[in-house]
Amino acid sequence: MRFEQILAEGVAECSYLLGDDAAHVCAVVDPRPDVDIYLETARRYGLAITHVFETHIHADFLSGARELVERLGGQAKLYVSEEGGAEYGFDHETVKDGDEFTFGSLRLKARYTPGHTPEHMSYFLFDGETETPWGVLSGDAFFVDSVGRPDLLGNEQTEKLAEQLFHTVRNIFMALPDDVIIYPCHGAGSACGPDIGDRMSSTIGYERKFNDYARIENLDRFKEVILGDAPPVPTHYPRMKKVNAKGPEVLGNLPRIEPMSVERFAAAIKGDAQVLDVRDMMGFGSGHVPGSLNIGAQPELSVWAGWLIDPEKPIFLVLPDDSKVSDVLRLLWRTGFTNFGGYLAGGMNAWREAGREFSQIPQISVHNLKAAEDITPLDVRKPDEWEAGHIPGAQHAFLGELRDKLADLDRSAHYATYCASGFRASIAASILKQHGFKNVRNVPGSWKAWQAAGYSVEETK
């Protein structure tokens, strides 16, 4: 048997390739759009991908199911659940509760597990004809230390979904033997559930003892806790739901982008263009194209682009190195971005050498911040991070909602943005700069550096 868990960092998404190398066939479950990894893995093991499954209509990343099926040239079929009234805008095979699929000695059984979404399907894993599963691909219904959130489809459906999720957890997952292994669709960092654990798998026995949500036996209490703990909903989630239900465009490769000379780039970005600078905070702070948004080329780029970039407008990239363009496109594609105007060939070196104007954002250490009397720390972390502890005298504006809260900020004030390490703080500083704030600094090291320095903290009671 072959079983591969494949992590897409940033979106913290786990997909799976599983099959039997004696039968030379396998399936892929919940693929991301950059599908080469599945083709290469199957090739390495001498397997043919014959089935592609989706556990549900994803909200947090762009499905790669259609992309993968197309790349396989008709060899594989795409299987999705129509339970709960789900509808799709693409060709597919329908999976119903109890359907079984065999790949050599490996058997998959579909189980209807609604709650996170109305159509959600999990896949139980069996060795041959044995009656007890050894594992379950739980999608977004059940996570390590957590469960899926039921509030992503609007208030009118939340109550029903929360009740369905409660019964899914109690009557399906908690009814399994302790040694059954849970393989979820997400790990820590995803907003598809509250406080998802950082281990990549777990067991029913462990979750029965330590998963606070799975241990709740009262429906009303479950609703209160799961809805009260849900993190902010990223702005791209409703959009991704619609795109994935309709069927993402099949590209056949990475999205296309062209290199642009300084002159062409400068002409193209006049007006309401989106310039995305993916260099690190220090490089961006030292000099950037005026009006740029800074999101560093780390895996988290996928998520924060989803929060902050308009998919309808072309994106113009400034890179740390032109050789990084494929890596950056891959990260942006994962949250549905395929519309690119071009990238600045030669990067900021070319821009500066051409005598073009550039902007800067000063960096300030936590030591200088503590000593400053006229600088307001602006905490852009999530609400739960802020409540757990923050710099005394700081103001809070969660990064994902910062643009909506700019009116609450004093444009004459001196702000120093901070987060956990400085990555999100630099994004926030670039947003403030975009909107005309003159006195903005970024705090490298941010909260981690403040704590390491031993400075006092405040907590929100």
Indicate the length of the chain as a whole number. 461
Residue type, 154: G
Q: How many angstroms separate the CA atoms of 352 and 349, rounded? A: 5
Sign of the CA dihedral with 417 first, then 418, 422, and 427 last: negative
Q: Where does 275-422 have alpha helices with state H? A: 281-286, 301-308, 325-333, 347-353, 366-371, 383-388
CA distance to 127, 184, 368, 377, per residue, from 362 (Å): 59, 42, 12, 14
Residue pair 201/144 in contact (Cβ under 8 Å)? The answer is yes
Using left for φ > 0, alpha for ψ between -120 and 50, and beta otherwise, residue 128 falls in left
CA 82 from centre of chain: 25
CA distance to 184, 250, 328, per residue, from 255 (Å): 28, 10, 10
Residue pair 430/293 in contact (Cβ under 8 Å)? The answer is yes
Q: How many angstroms separate the CA atoms of 19 and 103, rounded? A: 5
Residue pair 187/198 in contact (Cβ under 8 Å)? The answer is yes
Residue pair 141/122 in contact (Cβ under 8 Å)? The answer is yes
Q: How many angstroms separate the CA atoms of 157 and 138, rounded? A: 21
Nearest to 185 by CA among 60, 296, 80: 60
CA 12 from centre of chain: 6
CA distance to 156, 162, 227, per residue, from 221 (Å): 20, 11, 10
Residue pair 33/62 in contact (Cβ under 8 Å)? The answer is yes
CA 347 from centre of chain: 27
Q: What tokens does 263 get?
A: 């002159």
Q: Which of 26, 185, 192, 419 is catalytic?
A: 419
Residues 6+ apart with CB under 8 A from 227: 150, 151, 158, 162
Please give the angle made by the CA atoms of 274, 279 and 280, to the nearest 5 degrees.
130
| 185 carries an active-site annotation | no
Pairing of strands 375-379, 395-396: parallel
**End-to-end distance of the chain based on CA atoms, in angstroms?**
52
Which amino acids are annotated catalytic?
A: 419
